[in-house]
Each structure stands twice: as structure tokens, then as C-alpha cells.
A and B are shown apart, each in its own frame.
Chain A
Amino acid sequence: MLVLLVLVAGVVAVRLFYFQIIRHSYFTALAKGQHEVLKTLIPDRGEIYIQEKGGAWRSLAANRSFQTVYLVPKDVVDKNEVAEKIAPLVDVSAEKILEKLDDPNDPYEPLKSKMDDETAAKIKELNLAGVEMISEDWRWYPQGSLAANVLGFLGIKNEERVGQYGVEQYYQETLAGQSGLLDSEKDALGNWLLMGDYSLEPAVNGSSLYLTLDQNIQYVVEQRMKALIEKWQAPAACAIVMEPKTGAIRAMVSLPDFDPNEYRKTKDADYFMNSCVQKLYEPGSVFKPIVMAAGLDTGKISPETTYTDTGILQIGSYNIQNAQNKTYGLSTMTNVLEKSINTGVVFVQKIVGGETFTKYIEAFGFGEATGIDLAGEGEGNLKNIKENREINYATAAFGQGVSVTPIEMASAIAAIANDGKLMRPYVVEKIVAPDGQETTVQPEIIRQVITPQSAAKLTAMLVSTVRNGYDKVKLPGYFVAGKTGTAQIASGKGYSENETNHSFIGYAPAYDPKFLIFLRMEKPNGIQFASESLSPVFTDLARYLFNYYEIPPEE
């Protein structure tokens, strides 16, 4: 009897030791969990706004509650009825819904998130057992795909919502804010006891971003570029409208684009990329003003300097020729730009010298990131001209063998428009903290690349280029500076015979520039030259901007 008692007491002691000592933390936590709420407080993500003339701001990215519908299979009475009635509303097949309802003990099966209010109301009206809804906060882009490649989107990475691409990624920390923590008591129903003890570390909401982009300009540029690639069946295009004096970006379009509300439905991840800042390409003749800038600034040439074009230039075993094998004879430097003479810019590059030429290219910002506040900016590749080979310098003079990003190209030409000062391009004008404190982004001069005198001479040459070189640019009364480029595309060890990249870069009013427009179209079909394909779009956009900014004609 005594032995039995000792045994029972021993078993009790062992169990007590197990519960009270070994599993102490588990049961403490369990008890705590029954009467305490430990909740992470999620901050509101900062919003993103786009501007309009007159100081108005419109929402580009906001936070919004959406309904999420889910199934509770164990509560479903008639599986077939649920599947049939819900399927058309949530855009999920009835078979798939039946699959989700297979396990009768399953307490939760998500069906569809981010539902619009109308569909949510219809589902609610059905009043089906086992079909439930909860409200969830999501990022919402009210303008759809407008400026999508500048914005990026709020995606999910490692089960956390993080900004991806564009400003959403670049300003992730600023937009996200800081999460808080609530530790408090709860009642029998699990509700927070409002009058009970609690410890609260409040969440800090994210700051909002106010972009330099102008809604109207952005929209018009997008529409024109979409029509352009459709017309010429081009796979991709990009456009930048920039304020040369500050570096503020007024529009930036990268096509094909995507709808950030439905980013999961996007066909190809490449669509998320902003080709204006992330894609390298050989610029072709739009690079020629850079060579001229080096020639003018070193004093080795003037706009009136002449040379005789024989149509062909031999460098080692290579022959440099003009487009369509044309010969122009005695030509001034202005003629070189007007007629886009390859041998002419090689002539300038040669008298400037390889080392100085490279120095100017680098000073214009090529080969390094511009510092624009967008995620994943690429930087040009100048490897070829650093090999110190004559042929590489020569081809670089007409924009082949060097690769640049469109934003590098636009910034460099903007420096010519801006009295030789290279500005850092930027897309965020101000950041507003949740307490209302504003931080305004100031324009930033990177460096003085060429003298204002050289810049003025080059601007005059580029005005002459537009007037005498491109009959499709029709903007009577305005001085417009510009240059086109039709660049062959590198393919294997040589260049493709049929495929080209078209570019047009121009600024106006040339002697007091308010805007710079950069256009680029990839591999258009059925048109040979950028002066033909892009001039009408440039004219159209420049006319729109003259009207929008109310700039009267100068002549």
C-alpha cells in the first residue's frame, strides 16, 4: 500500500516538475496569450502625388481598404451552390473552388483579395454560409498605368510588403514609416480592454512624396508615345521631358508599361523596368553635339571652321562612311550637325585628341550614374574609348561603340542648354513628413562642363540643325535646338543591317530653355530615319508645351 502511495506521489511529482519547470515558458506564454494582446501596429505608407500647373497636387499612389473573400470549408453547407454562385464573381473556376472546399476540417482558404466594393456587396448579398470577408489595406494607384515605370509598385518580398522599382523602391524607408507595438489586456471575447493596463509604442506613418512630374505633360507624352510605337510596330520606346535649368523631370515614359494595381498580371518582368534610366543603348548621331562641345570648348574649332568631306575616312584597316554613303565636300561645323556628317565629327574628335575627348565625355556625365532618385539606375559603358584606339575614338564620335542610358543623354544635352552646367536629374520635389514638416529638394549642379560661351555657340548650331536639317519640325516663330540619331544596333561582332534605334533630343526656347524633350524608339518597322519618325512627335509635344507653359513665339 505504502509503495503504491509512494509511486502515485512520485508520478504526480514528475508531472508537476514537467509542467512547472520544463514547460514553464510554454504555459506562461499560453496563460499570457489568454488575457493579453500583443499586436504589431502597421504604419500607413506615405502617399505619392503628381503635380499640375497652378500648384495643384493629384494622387498617384494611395492606401485603400479592399475586401478579401475567403472560404471556411468546415462551415460550408452546400459546396456546389457556393462554387456556382461565387465563381463568376471572383473570377475563379467552380472546379478550383470545389478543390478548395475538399477538406471539411480546413478553417481558412483565401479566394480573392483586392475586390472592388460592388463585387464585395454582391457576395455579401448571397449570404452563403462558409463564405466570409475581411477588410485589408492595400496600395492603390488611382491613375492606373500613368507614370507606372517612375512609380514602381508595392509588392511582396519575403512575406513583407516592400516597394519595388521606381520611387516606391528608392524611397522605401521614407514611405514605409516605422511599425509600433501594443501590449494590452483583453476580455473573454478577445477584444482589447480599452480601460485596462497597456503599453503602447505608436507606429510612425511614412512620409509622402510630391513628384516633379506634371500630370498633364505625363499623360500627353504617354499617349503620343503609345500611338508612335503602334504606328511603327516598335517593341519599346522611352521619352523624357526635363527642365534643363533645374534637372526636374516633368514627364518620363517607358514603354511597354504596366498597371501597378495589377502588377501580377504583367506579361514580362522587363515591363517593370524603366528603360529611361535602366537600359543602355548606343546613341548614334544624337551624340554628335557632345563632340562639338569638346571642339568648341577647347577652342580647336568654331561653328565656321571648315573641312572637306570626301565621303570616306580611313582609320587603320577601317573605313568610316556617312549615312547612305553621301559626300558633302566643303562643310562648316554647323553643316556637320545639320547633315549629320560622320566624317565631320571624326575630324573634330581627331583635332581634340583622344584623351581630351574622353575627358569631356566623362565630364558630361557619361559612364556614371546621374544620381536620379529612381531605383536601379544604370550607367553608360565607355570601355571602348578607354582602350586608347583611334578607331574606337572615331566611332564614339558618331555614337557607336559607347553605350549610354537615355537619362545620361538627356542630362548631357540639358547641360548644353543650361549654359554648360550639368544638373542632377530628380523626380521628387518635396517630402512631407506625417507631422507636416516639408523637405524641399533643391536643384543640384554637378559641374560646369563647358563655358557658357561654348554652350551658346553650340545652341546656335543646334538651332540651325533643326531649321535646315529637319523639315518635319514645324514650329514657326520659335527657336528650337535639336539633333536626331538613327543608330545601328550591335549584333554579334558587327551591326544589324535592318534594325535601328531612333532618337530625337531637343530643347526650347533655345536661348532661354523651359523644357528639353528626349525621345527614343527601338527597332521601328517601315521607316528609316529618326528625322522622319520622331520629328512629328517632337513637334507635337513641343507645341503642346509652348501652349501649356504659355510661351509666346520669339519671332
Chain B
Amino acid sequence: MTYYNPKKSAFADKEKGSASLTVAIIFGLFLLSVLYLAQANSIVAKNFQLRSAQAALEEKQDSNQKMMVALMQAKSMASLEGAAKNLNLVAVENVDYLKVSSEFFALLQQP
């Protein structure tokens, strides 16, 4: 009895390999596309976050500047003079200085 044992031809192997490669490439491309989309999405999200952080920073810088301006105005000489007048403060005219005599020092040294 003669049996026919069909052998796998080289051509068939090649075809199968090529199909796997195609699948792999398609899968790879798909994966890359997904990765690309994810990354693009993340970049856009980060861009948005940065922009809103920048806006918040600008807002804070603005209010900080307003406070600094108010502080500088409050500490200006014209403003201080006005405040002094309102508080009925008067300028110092004559100052009496206390003189510490040497005898005073000697007394301190006594037991």
C-alpha cells in the first residue's frame, strides 16, 4: 500500500510566516497609533494644565503687585506725614541727653 504523505512545502511556510509578519506589523502599527494618540492626548492635557497654571500665576502675580503697590504707597513719606498729622504727632525739637558720669560707674563697682 502506498500512502501519500504530503510534505509541508517551503512555499506554504513562507506564506504562513509572511502572514504572521503582516499581523505583527499591523499590530505594531496599531500599538504605535494607540501610543501616539495617548501621548498626543497627554501633551494636549499637559499643555492645557500649563496654560491654566500660567494664568493662575499671572493672576497671583497681579494681586501680589497690587499689594506691593499699596504697601509702597502706605510707606511713602507723603502718606506717613498725613498719618502723623492725623495722629497729632509733633516733630522732635530739643532733645535732652542723659550724661553718665564716671562717679556713677565707680559707684557700681563698689561691693
User: Which residue numbers of A lie inside 8 Å of B, CB to CB?
Assistant: 58-59, 62, 64-65, 117, 140, 142-144, 146, 191, 193-195, 215-216, 219, 543, 546-547, 550, 552-553
Contact = CB atoms under 8 A, between A and B. Distances in A.
A191 B51 contact: yes
A185 B43 CA distance: 14
A142 B69 contact: yes
9 contacts: A64-B69, A142-B69, A193-B47, A194-B50, A195-B43, A195-B50, A543-B93, A547-B95, A553-B97
Contact of B72 (A62, A195, A546, A550): A62
B78 interface: yes
B90 interface: no
A143 B92 contact: no
Interface size class of B (residues with CB under 8 A): 20 to 34
A-B pairs, 9 with minimum CB distance: A552-B97, A142-B72, A219-B77, A194-B50, A195-B43, A143-B76, A59-B72, A194-B47, A547-B92
Contacts of A193: 47
B66 interface: yes
Contacts of A195: 43, 46-47, 50
Interface of B: 43, 46-47, 50-51, 62, 65-66, 68-69, 72-73, 75-78, 81, 92-93, 95, 97, 99
Contacts of B51: 191, 194
B37 to A, nearest CB: 15
A144 B78 contact: yes
A546 B93 CA distance: 10
B43 A142 contact: no
By CB atoms of chain A within 10 A, which of B46, B62, B75 has the most?
Answer: B75
A512 to B, nearest CB: 16
A550 B96 CA distance: 10
A146 B77 contact: yes
A142 B97 contact: no
Nearest to B62: A65
A62 B95 CA distance: 37
A102 to B, nearest CB: 35
B77 A215 contact: yes
Contacts of A546: 95
A58 B97 contact: no
A58 B75 contact: yes
Contacts of A191: 51
Nearest to B95: A547
Nearest to A63: B65
A553 B94 CA distance: 11
Nearest to A62: B72
A543 B73 CA distance: 29
A543 B94 CA distance: 8
A113 B8 CA distance: 88
Contacts of B43: 195
Contacts of A65: 62, 65
Contacts of A58: 72, 75-76
A42 to B, nearest CB: 15
A62 B72 CA distance: 10
A45 to B, nearest CB: 15
A546 B97 CA distance: 12
A193 B47 CA distance: 7
A117 B47 contact: no
By CB atoms of chain B within 10 A, which of A58, A146, A195 has the most?
Answer: A195
